[in-house]
Structure 1
Amino acid sequence: MDFLGMMKKAEELQKNMQQMQEQLGQATVDGSSGGGLVTVTLSGKGEMKGLKIDPSLFKEDDVEVLEDLIVTAHNEAKTKAEQMMQQKMAEATAGLPLPPGMKLPF
């Protein structure tokens, strides 16, 4: 591949990365625990956007159960956000001659 061709691909990659970042910021994923008693909503970038807690949990004397359910729901949503980011990254870099195992963004 010639140098100008590589530069054009790099510009395309940069444009795709910017679009992907915008899409991830607007996308949301949910994670839940306790059979749906706690739901956490994160942006594609991993920022917490919402938290829903079933009122029945407020009748419990054990706050630790609620805390554990929130952590579990958050972790599930974070995993989904990371998977979404990896998928978007694969789409953005499709067709580029990247070395195996190279991770973007740098």
Structure 2
Amino acid sequence: MLGNVTKIFGQLQGLQQTLKELTVEGSAGDGLVKVLINGQQNVLAVRFDPERIRSVEPAELGSLVVEAYNQAQMESKIKAREEVTKTTGLNLSNLPGIF
């Protein structure tokens, strides 16, 4: 029994590290705004196309950042779910609120 708990704990620690290192990018405005996040949903970077950003109104830019983040977050959740399934063998896709 203790061996199983130790094994599961090790798998979860490895999974946390994998999710921390997993990165995805969301973009909006045809690449004007890019948001990079990891599998733990932490924002790693927000990038703007310097040639095109000058012509964008602040309100529109804010909307594009939100759109790019939402896209990245959705992709990150999909990839995190895949990693959990791969690591644990459990398919959590039908459990609401987990991913």
Question: Is contact 1:37-1:54 (8 Å) kept?
Answer: yes
Percent of residue pairs identical: 24
Q: Deviation per CA, 1:8-58: give whole Å up to 9, x if none.
A: 333322211110100111121100011111100001111111111112122
TM-score under structure 2 length normalisation: 0.81
Query: Residue 40 of structure 2: SS of its match in structure 1?
Result: coil
**Higher-Rg member (1/2):** 1
Deviation >3 Å, runs of 4+? 7-10
Return the match for 2:21 from 26, 29, 43: 26
The match for 1:51 is 46
The match for 1:73 is 68
Question: Is contact 1:44-1:82 (8 Å) kept?
Answer: yes
Question: Is contact 1:40-1:50 (8 Å) kept?
Answer: yes
The match for 2:6 is 11
TM-score under structure 1 length normalisation: 0.76
